[in-house]
């Protein structure tokens, strides 16, 4: 048997794993990922030249664990130093999320009463004080002209309920 080919296959797979880890910390525009895939494929070829059993096993391992490693790396990437710097321009130094003034303004409207300007089937327009807002009927349909109360705000979505 060709023992050197087995060792080459093991070294190439190990190098591929090391380059994948390096890809998480060094911005390379995907070049390190391409290098890692190339090393893994070269490892499979080396294993295949050693024996069919090693070739099939390494190919199966690459096809099973490759996507798992990619999914894992994508899951942890936003928590790495480089991921925090690249995603949404966050430098990772601030634990405070930016305060959204519009969301705070809408949250302050919870409990306010208004009038449905259009039928809410389930979405329509309401007037609260002098402001026109798009709202979602919490249950069923609300006819135009009905009195409504804002019961919750989720993001920019205002949920209303008719006042009995």
Domain closes at, from 67, 89, 111: 89
Same domain, 61 and 121: no
Structurally, how many domains does the chain consist of?
A: 2
Residue 33, exposed/middle/buried by CB under 10 A (0-12, 13-18, 19+)?
middle
Calpha distance 115→126 (Å, rounded): 6
Mean pLDDT, residues 74-89 taken together: 76
Omega before 122 within 30 of 0, i.e. cis: yes
Say if residue 79 is in the same domain as residue 10. Answer: yes
**Residues 113 and 142 reside in one and the same domain:** yes
Q: Are residues 105 and 73 in the same domain?
A: no
Q: What are phi and psi of 68, to 5 degrees?
A: -65, -40
Residues 84 and 120 in one domain: no
- pLDDT band of residue 92 (cuts 50, 70, 90) is very low
Q: What is the CATH number of the domain that holds 154?
A: 2.40.50.140
**Can you give the pLDDT at residue 24?**
80
Mean pLDDT of 79-97: 63
The pLDDT of residue 163: 92
Out of 89, 121, 136, pick the residue that ends a domain: 89
Is 155 among the domain residues? yes
Enumerate the β-bridge partners of residue 161: 149
At 25-65, the pLDDT tens digits run 887 888 998 999 999 999 999 999 999 999 999 999 999 99
pLDDT band at 133 (very low <50, low <70, confident <90, very high): very high
Query: Are 29 and 83 found together in one domain?
Result: yes
Query: What's the chain's average pLDDT?
Result: 87
- Quote the tokens at residue 153: 């705000």
In a domain, 60, yes or no: yes
pLDDT at 1: 56
Q: What is the mean pLDDT of residues 119-134?
A: 94
Note whether residue 96 is domain-resident: no
Integer Cα distance of 77 and 160 in angstroms = 39
Q: Are residues 81 and 105 in the same domain?
A: no
Do both 8 and 85 map to the same domain?
Answer: yes
Do both 20 and 71 map to the same domain?
A: yes
Q: CA-to-CA distance for 121 and 63, rounded, in angstroms?
A: 49
Q: Which domain holds residue 127?
A: 101-162
pLDDT confidence band for 12 (50 / 70 / 90):
very high
Structural domain ending residue among the three candidates 54, 89, 124: 89
If asked whether residues 15 and 53 sit together in one domain, one would say yes
Q: 20-24, 98-102, 118-122: which has the highest mean pLDDT? A: 118-122
* Stated pTM of the model: 0.50
């Amino acid at each position: 048997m060709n023992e050197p080919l087995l060792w080459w296959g093991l070294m190439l797979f190990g190098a591929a794993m090391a380059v994948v880890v390096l890809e998480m910390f060094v911005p390379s525009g995907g070049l390190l990922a391409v290098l890692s895939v190339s090393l893994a494929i070269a490892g499979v070829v080396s294993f295949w030249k050693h024996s069919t059993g090693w070739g099939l096993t390494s190919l199966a391992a690459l096809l099973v664990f490759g996507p798992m490693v990619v999914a894992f790396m994508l899951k942890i990437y936003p928590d790495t130093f480089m991921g925090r710097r690249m995603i949404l321009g966050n430098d990772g130094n601030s634990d405070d999320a930016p305060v959204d003034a519009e969301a705070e303004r809408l949250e302050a409207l919870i409990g306010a009463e208004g009038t449905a300007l259009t039928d809410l089937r389930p979405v329509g327009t309401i007037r609260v004080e002098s402001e026109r807002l798009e709202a979602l009927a919490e249950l069923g349909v609300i006819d135009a002209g009905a009195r409504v109360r804002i019961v919750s705000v989720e993001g920019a979505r205002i949920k209303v309920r008719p006042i009995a």
